């Protein structure tokens, strides 16, 4: 029985062992699977980490590029000077790109110079004594003019650049053309380190170039705007002046018509009074020869004798007076023609004489007039009526500057290609302030006595039309000289 019992327990044990070994087998297989899974996970982890590091690196590079673009924008939008704008662009590039070597061609009004800069020193340094710079510039320019950004140079172009300087490069350099103004262009050639040649990098560089062009366009726009504004302001000022002069011209024209009308009216009676006087002179001669013998009374005879002696001088004086009136009338007629614009050969001495006639009335009592006219003065080309207007204005001003009398000196002379007229007074002169504003329309120091302040501005406009030069020499309390230079043969 115990054997039976033993056997039974052995069988039971064997069963148990079997069970256990089965369990072990299962465990081992589970373990193996778990190990495999662990290994798989480790691999995934490793891959993920690698991707993450790469993405991180990529992001940092992107950040650097963005940083570059935003700094560039901030810098170039502050600058106004075109040349400074270009050097700001280059110095930004120098901090962004690891530049080993560089060449900058600067073409200004057709002259090409070259310089260099590096990341360590962004200041352009000119390189002297380089041959053929213009040819290489044009060669590169024709290649680059088609692109709107940076271009990798072909081997051929690289070689050409290399021949300029002893320039050995392993990679092809990149280059771009910057058109700063019509006759101001830069070509920048950079030999940069290899990591720069990614697609991202290329994009960033192109964008920087576009930013630069935009800043340039904006600056050009500003310049044009400022220029337009300036020319608009001066046009407005010119218009105002023209308007004032038109008003004055209008006034002068109607005054001229009035003067012409009066002159015409006076001419007729003047004619017959003059011819009557001639006849009267003849008649008086007849009376003279007959009268004294018929009178017996010695007292009357004496008076008659006196009258007889006085009559001829009286008539002569009347004739002289009439001649003066005729001269004045002639001058008035000339004056009335001052609004016409016709040019002709002008005898400046004659115009001075006519002008003096017109202002004579203001001068004759208290002033002496010293005429120093060059008899051999050549003719000039101009408008006599308008020149007369100028001389009359100057003479009237001179007379008004000497209210208590003085000396007016009128000179004409030849100096090379010019007829020079001087109108000089020894009156009150002018302060520096007055002298500065002299030719401004409506500037007058005589508002109390009805000055218009237009005489000199109108005169100036007339002289400008004659391409004449005016010079004023004045000393306070001593006098003033106006010098006018009229070209004998205007170009
Ligand atoms: N010969 C002169 N001497 C001193 N001042 C003068 C003389 N000519 C012109 N001026 C000054 O220039 C100003 C402007 O002259 P003008 O244009 O002829 O205007 P107006 O005579 O009506 O004042 C005068 O008011 C006067 O102050
Ligand atoms: Mg005046």
| Residue scoring higher pLDDT (441 or 269) | 269
- To test the pocket of ligand 1, the residue of 396, 404, 456 to mutate (highest count of ligand atoms within 8 Å of its CB) is 456
Q: How far is the CA of 427 from the centre of ligand 1 (A)?
A: 11
Residue 17 covered by a domain = no
Count CB atoms within 10 A of the CB of residue 76: 22
Q: State the average pLDDT for the chain.
A: 87
**Is any ligand 1 atom within 6 A of the Cβ of residue 143?**
no
Kindly state whether residues 374 and 465 are assigned to the same domain.
yes
**Is any ligand 1 atom within 6 A of the Cβ of residue 104?**
no
- To test the pocket of ligand 1, the residue of 409, 429, 432, 444 to mutate (highest count of ligand atoms within 8 Å of its CB) is 444
Residue 260 covered by a domain = yes
Give the pLDDT band (50/70/90) at residue 469.
very high
Look at residue 337 in the predicted model and tell me its pLDDT. Answer: 57
Residue 33 covered by a domain = no
Kindly state whether residues 334 and 360 are assigned to the same domain.
no
Kindly state whether residues 184 and 298 are assigned to the same domain.
no
Kindly state whether residues 407 and 436 are assigned to the same domain.
yes
Read off the pLDDT of each residue in 408-415 and give the average, rounded to a whole number: 97
**Is any ligand 1 atom within 6 A of the Cβ of residue 92?**
no
**Residue 482 alpha carbon, nearest atom of ligand 1:** 1
Q: How far is the CA of 434 from the centre of ligand 1 (A)?
A: 8
Q: How far is the CA of 238 from the centre of ligand 2 (A)?
A: 22
Kindly state whether residues 371 and 469 are assigned to the same domain.
yes
Ion ligand 2 — residues with CB under 5 Å?
397, 455
Kindly state whether residues 235 and 332 are assigned to the same domain.
yes
Residue 444 covered by a domain = yes
Q: What is the pTM of this model?
A: 0.46
Residue 1 covered by a domain = no
Q: How far is the CA of 444 from the centre of ligand 1 (A)?
A: 6
Residue 52 covered by a domain = no
What pLDDT, in 10s, does the model give residues 59-117? Answer: 888 898 899 999 988 888 877 788 888 888 998 998 888 888 888 999 999 899 999 98
Kindly state whether residues 319 and 421 are assigned to the same domain.
no
Residue 491 covered by a domain = yes
Percentage with pLDDT > 70 across the chain: 93
Per the CB < 8 A criterion, the answer to whether 428 and 406 are in contact is no
- Total domains, the chain: 3
Kindly state whether residues 312 and 364 are assigned to the same domain.
no
DSSP strand pairing (406-415 vs 367-373) = parallel
Instruction: Indicate whether 324 pLDDT > 90.
Output: no
Q: What is the CATH number of the domain that holds 432?
A: 3.30.565.10
What pLDDT, in 10s, does the model give residues 380-391? Answer: 999 888 899 899
Kindly state whether residues 488 and 389 are assigned to the same domain.
yes
DSSP strand pairing (418-425 vs 479-487) = antiparallel
Look at residue 386 in the predicted model and tell me its pLDDT. Answer: 87
Least confident of 14-18, 382-386, 421-425: 382-386
Residue span of the structural domain in which 326 resides: 226-339
What pLDDT, in 10s, does the model give residues 287-303? Answer: 877 765 667 788 888 88
Q: How far is the CA of 324 from the centre of ligand 2 (A)?
A: 25
Read off the pLDDT of each residue in 397-404 and give the average, rounded to a whole number: 94
Q: What is the CATH number of the domain that holds 157?
A: 3.30.450
Instruction: Indicate whether 200 pLDDT > 70.
Output: yes
Kindly state whether residues 487 and 437 are assigned to the same domain.
yes
Kindly state whether residues 346 and 490 are assigned to the same domain.
yes
Look at residue 29 in the predicted model and tell me its pLDDT. Answer: 93
Domain boundary among 177, 197, 217: 197
Residue 49 covered by a domain = no
By alpha-carbon position, which residue is closest to atom 12 of ligand 1? 438
Q: Under 8 Å CB-to-CB from 445, ≥6 apart: which residues?
A: 434, 451
Per the structure block, which two tokens stand in for 56? Answer: 């991180």
**Is any ligand 1 atom within 6 A of the Cβ of residue 455?**
yes
What pLDDT, in 10s, does the model give residues 118-163? Answer: 888 888 888 888 888 888 899 899 889 888 889 888 888 888 887 7
Read off the pLDDT of each residue in 7-16 and give the average, rounded to a whole number: 90
Kindly state whether residues 233 and 311 are assigned to the same domain.
yes
């Amino acid at each position: 029985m115990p054997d039976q019992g033993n056997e039974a327990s052995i069988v039971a044990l064997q069963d148990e062992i079997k069970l256990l070994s089965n369990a072990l087998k299962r465990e081992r297989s589970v373990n193996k699977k778990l190990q495999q899974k662990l290994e798989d996970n480790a691999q995934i982890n490793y891959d993920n980490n690698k991707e993450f590091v790469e993405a991180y690196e990529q992001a940092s590079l992107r950040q650097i590029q963005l940083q570059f673009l935003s700094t560039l924008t901030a810098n170039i939008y502050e600058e106004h000077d075109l040349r400074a704008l270009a050097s700001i662009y280059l110095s930004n590039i120098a901090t962004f790109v690891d530049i080993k070597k560089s060449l900058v061609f600067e073409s200004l009004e057709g002259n090409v110079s070259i310089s260099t800069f590096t990341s360590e020193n962004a200041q352009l340094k000119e390189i002297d004594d380089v041959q053929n710079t213009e040819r290489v510039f044009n060669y590169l320019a024709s290649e680059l003019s088609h692109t709107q950004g940076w271009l990798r140079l072909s081997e051929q172009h690289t070689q050409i650049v290399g021949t300029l300087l002893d320039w050995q490069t392993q990679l092809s350099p990149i280059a771009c053309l910057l058109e700063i103004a019509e006759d101001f262009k830069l070509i920048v050639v950079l030999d940069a380190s290899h990591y720069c040649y990614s697609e991202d990098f290329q994009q960033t560089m192109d964008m920087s170039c576009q930013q630069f062009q935009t800043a340039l366009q904006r600056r050009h726009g500003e310049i044009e705007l400022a220029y337009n504004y300036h020319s608009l302001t001066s046009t407005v000022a010119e218009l105002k002046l023209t308007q004032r002069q038109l008003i004055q011209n209008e006034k002068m024209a109607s005054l001229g018509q009035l003067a012409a009308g009066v002159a015409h009216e006076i001419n007729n009676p003047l004619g017959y009074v003059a011819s009557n006087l001639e006849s009267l002179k003849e008649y008086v001669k007849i009376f003279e020869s007959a009268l004294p013998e018929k009178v017996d009374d010695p007292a009357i005879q004496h008076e008659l004798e006196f009258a007889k002696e006085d009559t001829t001088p009286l008539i002569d004086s009347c004739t002289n007076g009439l001649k003066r009136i005729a001269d004045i009338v002639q001058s008035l007629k000339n004056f009335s023609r001052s609004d016409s614009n016709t040019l002709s050969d002008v005898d400046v001495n004659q115009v001075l004489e006519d002008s003096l006639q017109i202002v004579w009335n203001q001068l004759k009592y208290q002033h002496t007039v010293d005429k120093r006219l060059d008899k051999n003065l050549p003719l000039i080309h101009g408008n006599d009526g308008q020149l007369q207007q100028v001389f009359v204005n100057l003479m009237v001003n001179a007379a008004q500057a000497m209210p208590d009398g003085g000396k007016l000196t009128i000179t004409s002379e030849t100096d090379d290609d010019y007829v020079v007229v001087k109108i000089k007074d020894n009156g009150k002169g002018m302060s520096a302030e007055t002298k500065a504003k002299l030719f401004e329309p409506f500037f007058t120091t005589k508002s109390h006595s009805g000055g218009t302040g237009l005489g000199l501005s109108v005169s100036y406009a007339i002289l400008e039309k004659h391409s004449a030069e005016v010079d004023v020499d004045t000393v306070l309390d001593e006098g003033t000289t106006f010098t006018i230079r009229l070209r004998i043969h205007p170009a």
